[in-house]
A and B are shown apart, each in its own frame.
Chain A
Amino acid sequence: MKLSTYIIRRVLVLIPTLIGLSLIVFLLTRAGGINMIIASYINPHLPYAVQRAMLIKEFHLNDPLWVQYYYYMMGLLQGNWGYTRTAIYSGPVTTAISMFLPNTIQLSIVAFIIAVVIAIPAGQESAVRKNSFVDQFSRFIAFVGISLPVFWLAQILSEIFATPTISPALNILPLSGTVDATLMAGVPWINSIGVSSPTHIMMIDALLHGDLPIFFSSIRHVILPAATLAFTSIAGIMRYMRASMVESLNQDYVKTARSKGLPEKVVIKVHARKNALIPVVTILGLLFAGLLGGVVVIEDLFSYPGMGLWTVDAILGYDSGGIMGTTIVFGLILVTANFIVDLLYAWIDPRIRLGE
C-alpha cells in the first residue's frame, strides 16, 4: 500500500470517531435539560425571553432527539457554538476558543518536548545499564511520577518558585498569564483580546517578528506549568522506552553489530536505539491524552489562560456553553494528535502500511 492510500484510509476511520464524539457531547447536553441547552446559546447582551423562544425554534428543542441532533450539528458546522460566561471571558464560544486554544497548544507542545527530551535518553540509559543504580532510581521516579496528584505537584512548585512569602530567594517565575501585560501593550501584531498573528502561538510569533523581550517573557510564563505537565508523562515514556530498548538490545542484529567489532556507542545509538524508538511512537498519542487531562488542573493552578483554565471557570460558573465547547475542542485535539501519531508511525515503519 502506498503512503497516500494509507492516509486516505486513516482519514475515513476519522469520520465515525468524529460523529461519535459529537454524539457524546450532544447527548450530554440534552441530559442536562432544556434550560441548560438554552443557557449555552443565550447571548448575554440581548433580552432572555425573546431568545428562549427563538432558540427553541432554531434548534427544534421540542422535536425528537435525532431531529435535534441534525440542527445541533448544523449549528456547530455553521460556527454557532453558543456563548460562554466565565470569570476570564464572556462572549461567543468560538472567540473564546481562538483566545485559549493557541495558549494550550503552546503549553502542551513545550511540555511534550521537555518530556521527550528527558524521558527518551533516561529510558535508554536504564535499559543499557539494566538493574544498576541509574535504572532503579529512574524506576522510582517513574512510580512517583504516575502516583503524584498533579494538583499537588503544581501547588508545591508554585509555592517554591512563584510565591514571595514562602521562598523569596526562589521567587523567580511569574504565576499568571502568558506574557507580561506591560510588554503586550501597543504591539501591532497582538490584537485586542491578546491573540497574536500570524500563527496565534505567542512564542513563534514573537520570534517571527524578532521581538525578543516578548519571546523570553513567554518562556518565563510557560516554563513552570510546562515542566509540571511534562513530569506527569515522563514516567510513561521512560518505562516504555526502557522496555523497548531492552528488547532491541537482545535482537540478533545487535549481536551481529557487536560481533563485527563496532564500538558499543555505535551499536547502541545506530542499531539498538533506532529500532527501539519505533514502538515508543505508538504510545505518544496515548500520553498526549494524559497530558491534556493534566492541562485542566495545571492551567487552573498557574492561572495560565488556556482551555483548561476556561474549563475550570466554566465548572465553577455553571457555564454550559463553555463546557460544551471545551469538551469538543479537547476531543478534537486528541483525535488530531492520534491521527498525526498514526501517520508518523506509518512513515517511520513501512511494515505498518505494507502489512495490511
Chain B
Amino acid sequence: MAEQKKRNPRIESFILTLKILFQSPASVFGVVVVLFYIAIALIDQFDPSLIGLTNVNYLTPNFTIPEPLPPSPAHPFGTVYPGIDIYTGILKAIRIDIGFSVFVVVFGSVSGVLIGIISAYFGGWVDEIVMRITDIFFSIPYLVLAIAIGFFMGRTLLILSVGLIIIWWPIYARVVRGQALSIKEQTYVEAARASGVGNTKIMFRHILPNTLAPIFVQFSFDLATIVLTLATLNFIGFAPSNSFLPDMGYLSAIGYEYAVVGDWWTIVFPGFGLLLFALAMNLVGDGLRDALDPRLRR
C-alpha cells in the first residue's frame, strides 16, 4: 500500500487518461487501427520479408502483364498500370506516408512549442514579432504554400517535409502561447521566480508540462492532416509519373486514368487506406481531447 501511494503522479495521470480514452468505443477503434498501421510501418522498416515485401522504397512494376487486373486471390486489391500490385503498394506506402507525417509533426511541434513558450514568457516586442510572423504564415492557404515551397526548392520528400515543418510550427506556437500566457500568471510560477529559479527552468519545468494537453490533441489531428496533405501533393504531380514512389496519393493518381474507364479498384483501395488512417487518427485526437479535458477528469 505504501508503495502505491508513492507512485509518480505523472504515471497516475497517464493511467487516468488511458482509462477515460478507452471508455469510448470510437477511441478504442481509432487506437487499434493506428497501432495496426504503425505495426505495418515498423515491419516495413525492419523486416519487410515478414509480410512478403521486397524493395520497400519503390513500387514493383510487372511489365509482362502491365494492364490493370481486377481483385483476385493473387492480387487481393487488383493491380494498376504497369502491373503494380495495389495490396503490396499500400503496405509499402504506409511506411513512407506515416514516417513522413511523424517526421513533420514532431519537428513542427517541437519548434512551435519552443517558439510559443519563449514568446509568451518574455512577452513585449518578442511576442509581438512572433505573432506577426505566425499571421503571415496563416495568410497563405497551407496547401498552396506547400506547393510553392516544393516547386521552388525541389520536389523531393525531404524538401517537402522541411516545407511542411515551416508551415506547421505557427499552429503549435499559437496553441502553446495561449496556454502559457495564463499559466505564467499562476502563483506557483511567481513563487518559483521569487525563490530565484532561472528563466529557462521556469519555462521548461513549471510552464511547459502544463501546456502539453492541447499539444497532444493537435498532434494527433495533424498526423492525419499531414498524411492527407502529402498524398494530395503527390496526387497533383509532385511525384513524377515514373517515380514509382510508394505513396497512396501517387497510387491513386496513376489509377485515375483506368478508374475513368471502369477499373474502380485502382482508386478505391488506395483512397480507402488513407481514409481509414485519417479517420482513426482523428478519432484518437477527439478521444484524447475528452480524456485530457480537466472538467471531465475530476
- Contact at B271–A330, with CB atoms within 8 Å? no
A273 to B141, CA, bound (A): 30
Residues of A near B138 (CB, < 8 A) are 289
- Contact at A312–B148, with CB atoms within 8 Å? no
Residues of A near B275 (CB, < 8 A) are 144, 147-149, 152
Of chain A, the residue at the smallest CB distance from B152 is A32
- Contact at B147–A17, with CB atoms within 8 Å? no
- A-contacting residues, B131-151, CB 8 Å: 132-133, 135-136, 138-145, 147-149, 151
- B-contacting residues, A18-39, CB 8 Å: 20-21, 23-25, 28-29, 31-32, 36
- Contact at B136–A20, with CB atoms within 8 Å? yes
Of chain A, the residue at the smallest CB distance from B163 is A28
In this assembly, does B17 line the interface, its C-beta being within 8 Å of a C-beta of chain A? no
Residues of B near A165 (CB, < 8 A) are 260-262
In this assembly, does B259 line the interface, its C-beta being within 8 Å of a C-beta of chain A? yes
**A interface, over-half SS:** helix
- Contact at A21–B141, with CB atoms within 8 Å? no
Q: A149-B232, A297-B232, A312-B236 are in contact. Are A334 and B279 (CB under 8 A)?
A: no
- Contact at A334–B139, with CB atoms within 8 Å? yes
Chain A interface bracket (under 10, 10 to 19, 20 to 34, 35 or more): 35 or more
Of chain A, the residue at the smallest CB distance from B132 is A16
- A-contacting residues, B184-210, CB 8 Å: none
B30 to chain A, nearest CB (A): 10
In this assembly, does A315 line the interface, its C-beta being within 8 Å of a C-beta of chain B? yes
A149 to B260, CA, bound (A): 18
Which segment, of A60-68, A94-102, A320-328, faces chain B?
Answer: A320-328
- Contact at B151–A315, with CB atoms within 8 Å? yes
Which segment, of A2-10, A155-163, A345-353, faces chain B?
Answer: A155-163
A334 to B282, CA, bound (A): 26
- Contact at B135–A296, with CB atoms within 8 Å? no
Contact with B256, one of A25, A32, A155, A311 (Cβ below 8 angstroms): A155
**B interface, over-half SS:** helix
- A-contacting residues, B253-274, CB 8 Å: 256, 259-262, 264, 267-268, 271, 274
Contact with B136, one of A21, A146, A156, A338 (Cβ below 8 angstroms): A21
In this assembly, does A316 line the interface, its C-beta being within 8 Å of a C-beta of chain B? yes
Of chain A, the residue at the smallest CB distance from B274 is A149
- B-contacting residues, A296-339, CB 8 Å: 296-297, 300, 311-312, 314-316, 320, 323-324, 326-327, 330-331, 334-335, 338
- Contact at B141–A334, with CB atoms within 8 Å? yes
In this assembly, does B153 line the interface, its C-beta being within 8 Å of a C-beta of chain A? yes
- B-contacting residues, A163-177, CB 8 Å: 163, 165-166
In this assembly, does A293 line the interface, its C-beta being within 8 Å of a C-beta of chain B? yes
A5 to B275, CA, bound (A): 47
Residues of A near B271 (CB, < 8 A) are 149, 151-152, 155-156
Of chain B, the residue at the smallest CB distance from A311 is B147
- Contact at A311–B282, with CB atoms within 8 Å? no
In this assembly, does A48 line the interface, its C-beta being within 8 Å of a C-beta of chain B? no
Q: A143-B283, A155-B256 are in contact. Are A323 and B141 (CB under 8 A)?
A: no
B164 to chain A, nearest CB (A): 13
- Contact at A149–B256, with CB atoms within 8 Å? no
- Contact at A296–B144, with CB atoms within 8 Å? yes
- Contact at A147–B252, with CB atoms within 8 Å? no
Residues of B near A17 (CB, < 8 A) are 132, 135-136, 139
A28 to B279, CA, bound (A): 34
Residues of A near B176 (CB, < 8 A) are none
Contact with A21, one of B140, B237, B252 (Cβ below 8 angstroms): B140
Residues of B near A324 (CB, < 8 A) are 148
The 4 closest A-B pairs by CB, nearest first: A20-B136, A152-B271, A293-B143, A147-B278
Pairs across A and B, CB under 8 Å, 10 listed: A28-B152, A31-B153, A32-B152, A147-B278, A147-B282, A155-B256, A292-B143, A296-B144, A297-B236, A324-B148
Interface residues of A (CB under 8 A from B): 16-17, 20-21, 23-25, 28-29, 31-32, 36, 143-144, 146-152, 155-156, 159, 163, 165-166, 289-290, 292-293, 296-297, 300, 311-312, 314-316, 320, 323-324, 326-327, 330-331, 334-335, 338
Supply 8 further A-B pairs (C-beta < 8 A) apart from A155-B252, A155-B259. A21-B139, A25-B148, A31-B152, A149-B249, A149-B274, A159-B259, A315-B236, A331-B139
Interface residues of B (CB under 8 A from A): 132-133, 135-136, 138-145, 147-149, 151-153, 224, 228, 231-232, 235-238, 248-249, 252, 256, 259-262, 264, 267-268, 271, 274-275, 278-279, 281-283, 286
